[in-house]
Structure formats: structure tokens, C-alpha cells
Amino acid sequence: MKEIKFSIFGMLFAVFFSCTATAQQKNAINPIIHADVPDASIIRVGDTYYMSSTTMHMNPGVPIMKSKDLTNWELVSYAYDTLGSNEALNLENGKNAYGRGTWASCLRYVDGTYYVSTFSSTTGKTYIFSTTDIEDGAWEEKSFSPSYHDHTIFFDEDGKIYMIWGAGKLRLIELKEDLTGVKEETEQVLIENAGKPTGATRGLPAEGSQIFKVNGKYYLFNINWPAGGMRTVIVHRADKITGPYEGKVVLQDRGIAQGGLIDTPDGPWFAYLFRDYGSVGRIPYLVPVTWEDGWPVLGIDGKVPDILDLPLSKGLVPGVVASDDFKRKKKDPDLPLVWQWNHNPDNSLWSVRERKGYLRLKTGRVDNDILQARNMLTQRTIGPECTGSTSIDVSNMKEGDFAGLILLQKKYGIVGVKFENGVKRIVMISAQNDTPEEIESLPLGQETIFVKAECDFNNRKDVADFFYSLDGQKWTKIGSQLKMAYTLPHFMGYRFGLFNSATQTAGGYADFDFFQIDKEISEK
């Protein structure tokens, strides 16, 4: 009898659990994108949301995404193809822009025109891009010095245009009407110590400003990271944009912080924030917002919910990462928007047209450091786990060439093919200890090779394994497991990268047949 009762109880529990899971599967789950999409700025135009984000040293830059429901996003544009041309951006003479390029952008919509502003310590400038067609139109660029750190731009109802920027001590300036610079004698200290509401005297000062106007009041969002504490959301409120401001802590939960406010057509409000989540990067969250006494109240009982009253994501971060067979019709763009180059590309040294159905990467110079090699084509990794694979035709590599698949960060891992001393070898390289080390090498007796990398971000496990195959069916692990780490010098989550680099003589090339990304791994 006890066994029967236990069996019935077990079945009822299973049914209850199944129903609960099914109910949960109808709703969005935090994080809304389990990939590196930090420093978001979101606007709503009618029933459509647009989001800008940070990709720093990647080009094209300042990605623009679109959504109808706040959870399913697709890339629709970039604010620029390249930020400029100098030694750091071009990976020349040992210089680079890792961890720099452009940072936190601010997206606005005013009288039929979209604006996105950003800044760069690499060029020392502040940028404002504008377009009347955010999805298909060209962007007009205006820039001026200096570079205003972590600024927010605001178009007020009286026609004045402001920027707020800084860390700890926040400042305000008024911009010229044509957005070409700052009006003279308009700079003022807005808040002397924006981190004061936390009571902390040490740690990361309040930064990452984003300002909003709701029901006639101005709300300034900032992040603060007290020493020994966690990333914290602070909001300051004022009746005038020039102040005075009163501030308070509005969220301290799991380090989810930095962002701003967005409303929905039906009335509910959300805060969009992000969380540092190990080697996959900084991942975006949505947090329900209610209003009490004129203040935004974030979360449910002060916590960020894992389940949201929003539509469930429909798949493999649709429109943010994607597989590619490199087959192009005449009117197709050469590269879908999911692809970004590591630093500025040399467009004379790559093609998806020279050989039908292949990405051809040519070498144009000699590089002895893979992190300095140009024309590395990248996509984000995604969590909680993912696999990236490709097939490479290495028949036209030259002596000293190295082509393959990299998991890109300072502590990188590579599986690929080296051509040295007249012999081609399958190799696995690990830079886990900061100095690249050839962990394993095997002779390659054919001209085509399949390689893949598997990333396990579950519960911040942050490990990757590398494989090769001679036929695309039977896979063999090679080298050692990479312990991935998010490092500040690169300041970005790991990315899959396709590359071909020369170490002796330029002029060779490698052909990549496809890139396949999957949301599962075989090694568990």
C-alpha cells in the first residue's frame, strides 16, 4: 500500500511539475539574452522597441537591435562601419584598442529622428549619430572633443539639448543646436557625490548615467559598486534637469545594475539592467517597475525575478547570433549583421564572392601575435552553453600560415591548422596562463579539416573544449580544457572567431565552408 501511495504521489507531483514548467515556459526568463549585450539603452517608438549596446573594439560598431516584446531581439543596424583609422584601431605597430573603442551609448528618438551618442577614449572624441530610418537608413556622424565618459544625452521639451557625464562627481553641459559641440560656459557640477546614497566611501563611484523624464520629473540612473559590496542601482530625482537632486538606492540584488527605464504600450514599466556573469560577458536583465510616491520601485520585494510577464524567447537568441553557410545571392549583403570584425578589417583581404559558398581570408602582412592579426571575423558566444564549428580548406595556405577557430579573449583558446616546415598540422593552442602554449599537435594528411569549440557557461563553470574531425562526423578532442576568464584588458565576453594569419610570408589564403552555432554541447 505504501508503494502504491508513493507511486500515486509521485505521478501527481510529476504532473504538477510538468504543468508548472509548461506555464513557466510561456513566459520570458531572465536574463533576456544570455550573451554579452552590456550598457543597453532602450527606447520605444509606438509598439516597437530599439536597443543600442556596446561592442567596443568590434566593427561595425554600436549595434542597434529591434523587438516587439522586449524579449525577442534582432539586429537591424550599426551606427558606424569603422570609428576611424589609427594604429590602435588598425592593429598596427603592436597597438590595439582591446577594451576600448566605443563604450556606453545612449539612444533617443525626437521628432522623427533617431539619435545614438557614444564616446571613445581611443580617439578622444564624443560621437552623435543620427538617422530618420533606424533599420535601413544611413547614419550621419557628428563628433567633437573631448570624450565625455559614460554620458547620457537628453533632448528637453524646451528645445535645449543636454549631456550628463562623469563618475562620482556628475557634470552637466548644454550642446549646440547642431550637435557639433558644447555651448560655452554651460558646464556645471550636477551632483557632487552621486554614490552617496550607498553610504560607501570606497569602490566604483557612481557612473553609467541615463536620464529620463516621467510626469514632469527627471530621473537619473547610475551604477555604484561599494568596496566589498555589490553593483547597486542608484536613482536621483529632480524637478529641473539642472537640479537640485535627491537620491536613493533602488536595487541591490546579485549585482544586476546599470541601465534605465522603459514603458510598454499597455502600461507596465521595466528597468533594463545587466549583470557581470563570468566569461560569457555582461548579460541583460529586465526588472518590473512600480511607482510609489513618485519613485520607481525596482523588482519584487527588492529582488529581480527569474520569470517575467512577457513573451518567451523564441529560440537561439534569434537575430543576435546565427549560423552561416556563406552562400550569397547577387543582392545579398556580404555579411549578415551578426558578424563583427575584431578591430578594423582590411576589406581587400576577404571575400564571400571569390569562391561560391566560402569565406576566403587572405593574409596581407606578417603577424607573430594572433591578437594582432587583422580580419578576424567574430560572433558572440551564448549561454548557458554553445558550440561553434567550421570547416576549412587549407590547400592554399603558405609556409608559416595559421588558420582556425578561436575563442577570443585575452586568455584565448584555438583549434586550427599550422603550416610549418612543409607540413600541415592540427594544433590546439591555449593562452590560459597568458602566454600562448601549443598543447597538442597532430599531422594533417588532407586539405580539409573540421574544427569546433564547445563552451560551458552553466553556473559559471566557464570551460571550453576543442575538437577536430576529418569527415565532419566523428569528432576527436584535442589539447586541454580551457578555463575561460573575463579579463578587463579585453572587457568583453568570449567570442567565436575565424582567422587566417601569416607568420612568414603574406599572400596565402584559407577558405571557410560554413560556420555553425548550436545551443548545446556534447561534453557534459
Lowest mean pLDDT among 15-19, 28-32, 81-85, 510-514: 15-19
Q: Over 80: is that where the pLDDT of 422 sits?
A: yes
Q: Over 70: is that where the pLDDT of 395 sits?
A: yes
| 215 conformational bin, left if phi > 0, alpha if psi -120 to 50, beta if neither | left
| pLDDT of res. 318 | 57
Q: Parse the chain into domains and list their residue ranges.
A: 25-311, 340-518
| DSSP structural state of residue 200 | -
> How much is the average pLDDT of 173-192?
97
Contact between residue 408 and residue 376 where contact means Cβ atoms under 8 Å apart? yes
> How much is the average pLDDT of 311-332?
86
Q: Over 80: is that where the pLDDT of 17 sits?
A: no
Q: Over 50: is that where the pLDDT of 185 sits?
A: yes
Q: Which residues contact 511 (CB under 8 A, 6 or more apart)?
A: 355, 358, 359, 360, 392, 393, 396
- d(CA 185, CA 123) in angstroms, rounded, equals 24
Q: Over 90: is that where the pLDDT of 28 sits?
A: yes
| pLDDT of res. 523 | 72
**Residue 164: what are its φ and ψ, rounded to 5°?**
-120, 135
> How much is the average pLDDT of 241-246?
97
Q: Over 50: is that where the pLDDT of 84 sits?
A: yes
Cis peptide before 384 (omega within 30 of 0): yes
CB-based burial of residue 93 (10 Å sphere; 0-12 exposed, 13-18 middle, 19+ buried)?
A: exposed
Rounded (5°) CA angle 130-274-244: 70
> How much is the average pLDDT of 171-182?
98
Question: Regarding beta strands 295-298 and 282-292, do their DSSP bridges make them parallel or antiparallel, or are they unpaired?
Answer: antiparallel
- d(CA 327, CA 356) in angstroms, rounded, equals 6
- d(CA 124, CA 101) in angstroms, rounded, equals 10
Q: By three-state DSSP, how is residue 61 classified?
A: strand
Evaluate whether 25-311 and 340-518 have a shared fold: no
What one-character-per-residue DSSP string does 30-54 give?
A: SSSS-B---S-EEEEETTEEEEE--
| pLDDT of res. 315 | 66
| pLDDT of res. 18 | 38
| pLDDT of res. 203 | 76
| pLDDT of res. 319 | 75
Contact between residue 380 and residue 472 where contact means Cβ atoms under 8 Å apart? no
- In the chain, % of residues over pLDDT 70: 94
Select the CATH number that applies to the domain covering 340-518 from these four: 2.70.70.10, 3.50.50.60, 3.40.190.10, 2.60.120.200.
2.60.120.200
- d(CA 359, CA 339) in angstroms, rounded, equals 12
Q: Over 70: is that where the pLDDT of 398 sits?
A: yes
pLDDT digits (tens, 9 = 90+) for 104-143: 999 999 999 999 999 999 999 999 999 999 999 999 999 9
Q: What is the separation, in whole angstroms, between the first and last Cα of the chain?
A: 39
Q: Over 70: is that where the pLDDT of 150 sits?
A: yes
Strand-pairing partners, residue 499, are: 404
pLDDT digits (tens, 9 = 90+) for 459-480: 999 999 999 999 999 999 999 9
Contact between residue 308 and residue 71 where contact means Cβ atoms under 8 Å apart? yes
Q: Which fold has domain 25-311?
A: Tachylectin-2; Chain A (2.115.10)
Give the H/E segment covering residue 9. helix 2-24
> How much is the average pLDDT of 495-505?
98
C-alpha cell at 367: 603577424
- In the chain, % of residues over pLDDT 90: 90
Confidence at 202, pLDDT banded by 50, 70, 90: confident
Rounded (5°) CA angle 259-260-265: 135
| pLDDT of res. 524 | 66
> How much is the average pLDDT of 163-172?
96
| pLDDT of res. 204 | 80
Q: Over 60: is that where the pLDDT of 26 sits?
A: yes
**Residue 72: what are its φ and ψ, rounded to 5°?**
-100, 110
Contact between residue 58 and residue 339 where contact means Cβ atoms under 8 Å apart? no
